[in-house]
Amino acid sequence: MAADEIDYRIVGDDMQAVVVTLDEGESVRAEAGAMLYMTDTIEMETSAEGGLLSGLKRAFTSESFFVTNFNCNGPQGQVALAAPYPGKIVPLDLAETGNMLCQKDAYLCSASGIELDVAFTKKMGAGFFGGEGFVLQSLQGDGTAFVHVGGSVMKMELEAGQDIRMDVGALAAFDEGMDYDIEYVGGIKTALFGGEGMFFATLSGPGTVYVQSLPFPDLVDRISRSMPNKS
């Protein structure tokens, strides 16, 4: 299929999956381990696509070293791919939006023409201490990619000159051309006792921003605090 003509439907509410329909000769690429089911006309092939360097880049962004391609070898077939924790699957038509940046573990699957690369914050020191915002994934191409966000998703359209600050982990995806940085919240008392972390993600419009209501590290932290203390 042309990279921008992927045939799909998203099913479910808070535990979503994307079902992709492929005609003969078409394929879809996915994060290793994402498959729920595939019909008998689909052939699965796992490889370190792009070679060692590309595999290492994927591993650096918390994705698998390997990627899986699902190829249709019959008249038509289906493959269903699921996100690894509760949240929403967001389709991004890169032919319409242009290249997108997303948090380092957000990529789920894409049309075969989409390239996945590594991006960094402009200020490496702030990015390092900011946690989620240090390493980002760059989605490049002219087809459809699917990213997974934790909890619910909010889509925001920023006008030229409009700024927004948010929790670093809440930033799920945004237009690659936007001005993006991480800044210190200011004030020792606020940073240590405010409960919001020591850094904000800051973005300036114009552009599209996707915000997630429950970042995965927050979910893990809340679950771990609720576990019985073995001691």
| pLDDT tier at 134, thresholds 50, 70, 90 | low
Q: What pLDDT, on a 0 to 100 scale, did the predictor assign at position 10? A: 96
Tens of pLDDT along 195-204? 455 678 889 9
Q: What pLDDT, on a 0 to 100 scale, did the predictor assign at position 224? A: 79
Superfamily assignment of 7-226 in CATH?
Mitochondrial biogenesis AIM24 (3.60.160.10)
Tens of pLDDT along 31-45? 888 999 999 999 999
Candidates 86, 81, 196, 203; CA nearest to 145 is 81
Look at the chain and count its residues: 231
Triad 147, 179, 197: Cα angle to 5°: 70
Tens of pLDDT along 170-183? 999 999 989 888 77
Instruction: Say yes or no to pLDDT of 119 above 50.
Output: yes
Tens of pLDDT along 152-163? 999 999 999 999
Q: Rounded to an integer, what distance in angstroms lies between the CA atom of residue 73 and that of residue 207?
A: 40
Q: What pLDDT, on a 0 to 100 scale, did the predictor assign at position 54? A: 52
* H or E stretch covering 210: strand 207-212
Is residue 217 helix, strand or coil? helix
Instruction: Say yes or no to pLDDT of 2 above 50.
Output: no
Tens of pLDDT along 101-110? 998 888 999 9
End-to-end CA distance of the chain: 57
